[in-house]
Amino acid sequence: MNIRDICTIQTISCNRDETVQGAALLMRKHHVGDLVVVDGSDGDAIPAGMVTDRDIVVSVVALGLDPASLQVGDIMSDDLLTCREDDDVYQTIEHMRLRGIRRVPVVNANGALAGIVSADDLLEFLAEEMGDLSRISGSQQAHEKRARH
C-alpha cells in the first residue's frame, strides 16, 4: 500500500513570511493543529517546514512575545521529514518512528506538496488491516464446516 492511498489531500499550508498570528487564525479556521510551511504556491508549493499549535504556545505565547510581529519562519521546525506519494506505508511508519514525528508532508514526483499523513491516519489503516486479519479465522472455520458436511 502506498502513502497516496491513505494521506489527507486537503493540506493547510502557509508561507514562512506569514505572521504567527495569521498561522494561528488559519489553524482555528480549518480546525487543525499544524500547518505545512511552504516555499512557492499552489502546484509549486515545496514543503520547507512545519509549525504546530504547540510551537506557537511554547515559542511565542509562553515567552510573552507578540504573535503579530513574528513570522512563521522564525518558529517553524525546518528539520523536515517528507515522504513521496508512492512510498510504502510501512517504510513511512518506520521513518516516523525513528524520528519521533507524528505528521509528515507528502510530496509528488516534483517535490511539491501533495498531502499530509499523520500517525492517526496510519493507526486507522493498521486497525483496518488488523480487522481484516482477525476475520480470517472465522472464514476458515466456516469453510471447513462446509467442506466436512
Write out pLDDT tens, residues 92-106: 999 999 999 999 999
- Cβ neighbour number for residue 121 with a 10 Å cutoff: 18
Are the C-beta atoms of residues 85 and 107 closer than 8 Å to each other? yes
Are the C-beta atoms of residues 19 and 72 closer than 8 Å to each other? yes
> In the structure grid, which three cell numbers stand for residue 133, read together?
486479519
The C-alpha atoms of residue 75 and residue 149 are separated, in whole angstroms, by 69
Beta partners for residue 138, in sequence order: none
Are the C-beta atoms of residues 55 and 33 closer than 8 Å to each other? no
| pLDDT level of residue 134 (50, 70, 90 thresholds) | confident
Mean confidence (pLDDT) of the chain:
92
| Global pTM value | 0.83
Res 143 pLDDT > 70: no
3-state secondary structure of 104: strand
